Structure 1
Amino acid sequence: MFLIYLIDRFFQFYYYLVIARVVLSWVQPPTHHQTMRKIIAFIYQATEPVLGPIQEMMPSLGGIDFSPIIVLMALQIVRNGAIQLLLYLF
């Protein structure tokens, strides 16, 4: 059951990273602090492998990027599937 807990926490963490990237695209965060620059760089580096390919496949509809919504839904589906599989196996 600890493995299920870890998987759940990982997906929750990644979910929040995607949300943070969306918020960062709306506001101009203060980048004059070295720590803030590192946090922003981490968020972009962690989410780009998932968001990037989806952004390339989807056209921008009126300047609105819907790729985060698709990623968040896909994360929930994969998370639920992984947990159900582990519950079935154990």
Structure 2
Amino acid sequence: MLIAENFVLALAKILDIVLTLYMWILIARAVISWVNPDPYNPIVMFLYRVTEPVLTPVRRWLPLRNIGVDLSPLIVILVIMFLQTFVVHTMEQMATALR
């Protein structure tokens, strides 16, 4: 069971790192949106390509589109925090239960 425990712990750690990295990418995207960025800048293009597939469905779902503030990054960050708290910790507890 040692192999299964280590495997689940490694998956939980990788998932936690990926979710944290994506959260920081979302924060960078939100900060860049406050200024008028060059749309042909490679960094700006990367941020838009990586975040737009997640933010677009959230924008369609949000009823507050006409207030002038895009709340979709905040919603996605809250979902990421939920996933880190629930899924990653559950995986870690599952791994310790495999002992």
TM-score greater than 0.5 by the shorter chain: yes
Query: Number of residues paired by the alignment?
Result: 86
Quote the Cα distance in structure 2 between the aligned partners of 1:64 and 1:22: 11
Question: Which structure 1 residue ranges, 5 or more long, are not aligned?
Answer: none
Quote the Cα distance in structure 2 between the aligned partners of 1:56 and 1:44: 17
**2:28 maps to which of 20, 24, 47:** 20
Question: For 1:9-88, what aligned pairs fall within 5 Å after superposition?
Answer: 9-30=17-38, 37-58=41-62, 59-88=64-93
Q: What RMSD, in angstroms, separates the aligned Cα atoms of the two structures?
A: 1.8
The TM-score normalised by the length of structure 2 is 0.75
**2:14 maps to which of 6, 12, 16:** 6
Bigger relative contact order, structure 1 or 2, given CA contacts below 8 A and separation 6+? 2
Quote the Cα distance in structure 1 between the aligned partners of 2:17 and 2:83: 13
User: One-letter code of the match for 1:29?
Assistant: P
**CA offset at residue 84 of structure 1?**
1.7
The TM-score normalised by the length of structure 1 is 0.81
User: One-letter code of the match for 2:58?
Assistant: I
Larger Rg: 2
Quote the Cα distance in structure 2 between the aligned partners of 1:27 and 1:87: 40
Residues 39, 45 of structure 2: 8 Å contact kept: no
Question: Which structure 2 residue ranges, 5 or more long, are not aligned?
Answer: 1-8
Quote the Cα distance in structure 2 between the aligned partners of 1:87 and 1:31: 41
Percent identity over paired residues? 30
57-66 or 7-16: bigger deviation: 57-66
